[in-house]
C-alpha cells in the first residue's frame, strides 16, 4: 500500500515538471498549404477573433438563452443581487471556492454541494457574470468550474452586469426556485499547480506569470505576507491590463484579440503550447489571467492555487526581488 501511495505522489509531483520540460508535438500542417503556412481564411479570422471566442458571451447571447433550461446563469457579484439581477440568475459567492483553512481550492465535496444548490447539472452550459469592469469574481468561478470538470462548458459575460443594464435589458429582484442539480465535481490535475510541483518544476521551460501589481512583484508591497518578491523567472503582467478600462461606450470589456495579443507578446508570453503558470495572492487575479489565456488559445494553463498566500509564507519557497 505504501509503495502505491509513493508512486501516486511521484506522478502528481512530476506532472508539472514533465509539462515544463517539453513541448507537445506540433499539429500536422494543413493539407494543400506550404509547410508552416496557414490558409488565408484562418489568418483573417485570427486577426479579429479570439481563438476561444465561445468562452466570452455578449448581452445578445444571454438574452437569446434566458429561457434555455440547459443554461444556468450565475451572478458572482459580492453585493447587489437582491436589488436586481439577470432574470433566472442564481447568486454564488466566489469566495466559497477557497478552502477556509488552507491556501487550496475548496474540496470537491464542497464544490459539488455549492453548484448543485445553484441548479448546475453535469451537462449544463453555465453563464457567469460579475459587476463588470475591474470585477474578477466571474473568472474565478469560471476557473473553479473548469478545474472541477466543466471545461469548455462555462461562459463569462463580457462587460458583466453593467453591460446588461446599460443595454436596458430586463432585470429581476426575485430569486428563482432552483431544483438541485446533478453536477459532481471531478478535479482535473492538469489545470492546477501545487507548491510542491512549482518547487520541482524546470522553470526555464515554463512561463510563470505574476498577475499582481508591480509593487507586489518587487516585494515593496508585502500584502501581509512574511516575505516579499516573486517566483524566479516570473513575468509580471497585471491581470487588469487585459481589460479596456476606457471604452468609448463606457463599459469596460476584455481588450480585443489584437490588443491582447500585443500585450502578452510584449511581455514575452507567446508560446501557446508551453505550460503557463499564473499566480497572484490567492488565485483570484490569477484565475482572471487563466481565463484570458484560455480565450487567446493557450493550451496548457495551470494556475498556482496557493499563490503568494502560501509561497511567500513558506520557508522553503525562494523569492526574488
152-207: pLDDT as tens digits: 999 999 999 999 999 999 999 999 999 999 999 999 999 999 999 999 999 888 99
**Residue 134 binned pLDDT confidence (cut-offs 50, 70, 90):** confident
Please say if the pLDDT value at position 282 is more than 80. Answer: yes
User: Which of 111, 115, 108, 97 is closest to 290 using CA atoms?
Assistant: 97
User: Which cell numbers hold the place of 203?
Assistant: 522553470
Mean pLDDT, rounded, for 12-26? 50
**Residue 19 binned pLDDT confidence (cut-offs 50, 70, 90):** low
Dump pLDDT digits (tens) for 176-188.
999 999 999 999 9
Query: Three-state SS for 92?
Result: coil
* Rg of the chain over all Cα atoms, to the nearest angstrom: 20
DSSP state of 269: -
Mean pLDDT, rounded, for 256-263? 97
Mean pLDDT, rounded, for 75-81? 97
Please tell me if the domain spanning 53-166 has the same topology as the one spanning 192-311. yes
Residue 12 confidence (pLDDT): 43
Q: Identify which has the larger pLDDT, 48 or 309.
A: 309
Please say if the pLDDT value at position 26 is more than 60. Answer: no
Query: Three-state SS for 320?
Result: strand
Residue 143 confidence (pLDDT): 98
**Residue 38 binned pLDDT confidence (cut-offs 50, 70, 90):** very low
User: Which cell numbers hold the place of 316?
Assistant: 522553503
Dump pLDDT digits (tens) for 83-114.
999 999 999 999 999 999 999 999 999 999 99
At residue 118, φ and ψ (nearest 5 deg) are -85, 0
Which residues lie below 8 Å from residue 71, measured CB to CB, with a gap of 6+? 65, 124, 125, 126, 127
Residue 15 confidence (pLDDT): 58
Domain 53-166: which CATH class?
A: alpha beta
- The fold of 192-311 is Oxidized Rhodanese; domain 1 (3.40.250)
Domain boundaries, the chain: 53-166, 192-311
Amino acid at each position: 500500500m505504501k509503495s502505491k501511495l509513493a508512486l501516486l505522489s511521484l506522478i502528481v509531483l512530476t506532472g508539472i515538471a514533465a509539462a515544463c520540460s517539453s513541448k507537445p508535438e506540433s499539429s500536422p500542417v494543413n493539407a494543400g498549404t506550404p509547410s508552416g503556412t496557414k490558409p488565408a481564411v484562418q489568418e483573417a479570422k485570427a486577426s479579429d477573433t479570439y481563438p476561444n471566442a465561445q468562452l466570452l458571451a455578449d448581452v445578445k447571447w444571454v438574452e437569446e438563452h434566458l429561457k434555455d433550461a440547459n443554461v444556468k446563469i450565475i451572478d458572482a457579484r459580492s453585493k447587489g443581487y437582491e436589488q436586481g439581477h439577470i432574470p433566472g440568475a442564481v447568486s454564488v459567492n466566489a469566495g466559497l471556492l477557497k478552502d477556509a483553512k488552507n491556501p487550496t481550492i475548496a474540496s470537491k465535496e464542497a464544490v459539488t454541494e455549492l453548484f448543485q444548490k445553484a441548479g448546475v447539472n453535469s451537462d449544463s452550459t453555465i453563464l457567469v457574470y460579475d459587476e463588470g469592469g475591474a470585477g474578477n469574481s466571474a473568472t474565478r468561478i469560471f476557473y473553479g468550474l473548469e478545474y472541477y470538470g466543466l471545461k469548455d462548458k462555462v461562459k463569462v459575460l463580457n462587460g458583466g452586469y453593467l453591460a446588461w443594464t446599460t443595454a436596458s435589458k430586463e432585470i429581476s429582484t426575485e430569486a428563482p426556485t432552483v431544483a438541485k442539480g446533478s453536477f459532481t465535481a471531478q478535479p482535473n490535475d492538469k489545470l492546477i499547480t501545487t507548491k510542491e510541483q512549482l518547487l520541482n518544476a524546470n522553470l526555464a521551460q515554463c512561463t510563470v506569470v505574476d498577475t499582481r501589481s508591480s509593487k507586489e512583484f518587487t516585494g515593496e508591497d508585502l500584502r501581509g505576507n512574511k516575505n516579499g518578491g516573486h517566483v524566479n523567472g516570473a513575468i509580471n503582467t497585471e491581470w487588469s491590463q487585459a481589460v479596456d478600462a476606457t471604452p468609448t461606450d463606457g463599459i469596460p470589456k476584455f481588450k480585443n484579440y489584437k490588443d491582447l495579443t500585443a500585450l502578452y507578446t510584449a511581455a514575452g508570453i507567446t508560446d501557446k503550447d508551453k505550460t503557463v503558470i499564473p499566480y497572484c495572492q490567492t488565485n483570484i487575479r490569477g484565475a482572471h489571467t487563466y481565463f484570458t489565456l484560455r480565450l487567446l488559445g493557450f493550451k496548457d494553463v495551470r494556475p498556482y492555487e496557493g499563490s503568494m498566500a502560501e509561497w511567500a509564507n513558506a520557508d522553503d519557497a525562494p523569492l526574488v526581488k
